[in-house]
């Protein structure tokens, strides 16, 4: 395979995309799980998750951290790509839900960063890892065509339930703190 042929370029591009996206996701998750790279670990992240409506906070931090760290590492390796991409995309959808009230751009606290990582992860789940991957080396036993819609649909369903529950908690909290209309 040479970088001059179309497939060699595509495989190299997918490798770079997997390494970049997967590496960022894995580091982001390691902040949550282990407190590395300036993160707050499970305790601090759990308290934050609870404050933004993801309850219980510690379990939410663990699930999010595992999806980001595990999904990111697997994406970087090109292993179990449909499940890895779906897990990472689901975690980023949950993050985007928190940041959505701030608009799109990250500079204003918006969901731009989470959306970018989530869409890249989902795109890799759909496209596949390319030939420069463990999935390819292992004969794609963890990267079958049927796994893509199954992983994305399963993750979408779980994400909808989790984000919906968070939305209800936040709405109830906000309604409980409003001033009464009449005294």
Q: What is the pLDDT along the chain (183 residues), one digit of tens a residue?
A: 555 677 799 999 999 999 999 999 999 999 999 999 999 999 999 999 999 999 999 999 999 999 999 999 999 999 999 999 999 999 999 999 999 999 999 999 999 999 999 999 999 999 999 999 999 999 999 999 999 999 999 999 999 999 999 999 999 988 876 555 566
- For the chain, the distance separating the N- and C-terminal CA atoms, rounded to the nearest angstrom, is 77
Q: Confirm if 46 and 37 have CB atoms less than 8 A apart.
A: no
- Please tell me the distance from the alpha carbon of residue 133 to that of residue 39, in angstroms, as a whole number: 29
- Please tell me the distance from the alpha carbon of residue 126 to that of residue 140, in angstroms, as a whole number: 14
3-state secondary structure (DSSP) of residue 145: coil
């Amino acid at each position: 395979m040479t970088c001059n042929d179309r497939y060699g370029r595509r495989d190299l591009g997918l490798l770079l995309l997997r390494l970049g996206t997967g590496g960022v996701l894995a580091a982001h998750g390691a902040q949550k799980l282990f407190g590395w790279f300036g993160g707050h670990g499970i305790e601090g992240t759990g308290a934050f998750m609870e404050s933004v409506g993801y309850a219980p906070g510690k379990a939410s931090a663990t699930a999010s951290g595992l999806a980001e760290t595990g999904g990111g590492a697997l994406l970087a390796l090109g292993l179990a790509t449909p499940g890895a991409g779906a897990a990472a995309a689901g975690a980023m959808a949950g993050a985007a839900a928190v940041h959505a009230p701030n608009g799109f751009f990250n500079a204003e606290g918006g969901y731009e960063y989470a959306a970018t990582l989530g869409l890249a992860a989902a795109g890799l789940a759909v496209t596949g890892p390319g030939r420069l991957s463990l999935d390819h080396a292992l004969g794609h036993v963890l990267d079958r065509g049927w796994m893509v819609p199954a992983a994305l649909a399963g993750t979408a369903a779980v994400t909808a339930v989790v984000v919906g529950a968070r939305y209800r908690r936040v709405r109830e909290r906000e309604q409980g703190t409003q001033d009464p209309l009449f005294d």
